[in-house]
Amino acid sequence: MEVKDLEAFVVVAEELHFGRAAAKLHMSQPPLSARIRQLEQSLGLRLFERSTRSVALTDAGSRLLVPARKVLSQVASVQNLAESIAAGDQGRVRIAFAGASSQRALPILTRAVRESYPGIELQLESQTYVYTALNKLLEGSLDLAFARLPTPQPELESRVVEVEQILCALPEGHPRANQPNLSLADLHDEDFVSLPSDTGSILQATMFALCITAGFRPRVVQISPDSATALALVAAGAGITITLSSVTPAQSVGIVYRELVDIHPSHMFATLTWRKDDPSPALSAVLEVSRSALPTPDLSGFDLKL
């Protein structure tokens, strides 16, 4: 039995006329009559009483009509869902993010996607730092990640969504808190708060690289699980840290932020990153929405070859 057999049976049962049913099915009458006979033979039942003047359902035909309609409805639902998935209107996109630096961009993107494509399920994975996220993208366990340049893997593609200035965070009352600009080399004797070294955080790696370039290795006295906690520790007087302008809204009490005048890079670039060969229509739809929800900022004057 094929779906076309059930469709032919239902249309003939509704029309009770082979000629009209054939026209509705866009076929000639003899093949339709043959299809119904084959269906009756496969079922071992007589579905219609035929005469030269009329067609009527048998008792068996009447009993089978309701379940046949249900099957056709279910087939149509499967077809509609498949078409919706293929168009990107349905599906799942797994998005990774980490820390306070995604607090602005992530809600903007998720709201925009849900408004435009309510059938797309967004699966959010928090505390997934950049290096871990890039590895998961490459292995296929993630679809999209909030990351940062550089993205060295040629299999990945990125689009910048935010330019973040690198800042020094100090507790209020710190002797250097009133200096409008700071030299990182002058902070060699300070206690530092750091993100863990094993999480794959580019911010943690950048802090160490900048300090070493300035001639010292930072003396880390506190390890924080995320940027928001790191800033809370700074505000409590545990030490200072290197942070980003996108993170500063997470902590405004008991803390001051200052520019560093002698560092390179002085900015970092937040990106959306994905696999170039990812065939997911749902991912394509999310990326399409992201272009208007999180437009690429003006990058003129910045060195993106970090």
195 and 169 in a single domain? The answer is yes
SS3 of residue 29 by DSSP: helix
Q: What is the DSSP string of 34-53?
A: HHHHHHHHHHTS--EEE-SS
Could you tell me the CATH number of the domain that includes residue 47? 1.10.10.10
Assign 60 a pLDDT band (cuts: 50, 70, 90).
Answer: very high
Residue 305 lies in a domain: no
Q: What is the extent of the structural domain holding 245?
A: 164-267
Residues 171-185: tens digit of each pLDDT: 999 999 988 889 999
Question: Domains in the chain: how many in total?
Answer: 3
Answer whether 195's CB lies under 8 Å from 227's CB.
Answer: yes
d(CA 275, CA 202): 20
For residue 249, whether the previous peptide bond is cis, meaning omega lies within 30 degrees of 0, is no
Residue 133 lies in a domain: yes
Residue 300 lies in a domain: no
Q: Say which range, 84-98, 158-172, 204-218, 285-299, has the weakest mean pLDDT.
A: 84-98
Could you tell me the CATH number of the domain that includes residue 153? 3.40.190.10
Q: Which amino acid appears at position 74 of this protein? A: Q
State which of 61, 87, 113 marks the end of a domain.
87
Backbone angles phi, psi at 60, to 5 degrees: -65, -40
Give the pLDDT score at 101: 62
288 and 257 in a single domain? The answer is no
39 and 83 in a single domain? The answer is yes
Q: What does pLDDT average to over the chain?
A: 90
50 and 178 in a single domain? The answer is no
The most distant pair of C-alpha atoms in the chain lies apart, rounded to whole Å, by: 106
Assign 199 a pLDDT band (cuts: 50, 70, 90).
Answer: confident
Residue 302 lies in a domain: no
Asked if pLDDT for residue 244 goes beyond 70, the answer is yes
Give the pLDDT score at 90: 76
pTM surpassing 0.85?
no
207 and 68 in a single domain? The answer is no
What is the Cα Rg of the chain in Å? 32
Number of other CB atoms surrounding residue 78 within 10 Å: 10
278 and 234 in a single domain? The answer is no
State which of 45, 62, 87 marks the end of a domain.
87
**Which two tokens mark 162?**
């935010």
Residue 34 lies in a domain: yes
193 and 62 in a single domain? The answer is no
Answer whether 65's CB lies under 8 Å from 10's CB.
Answer: yes
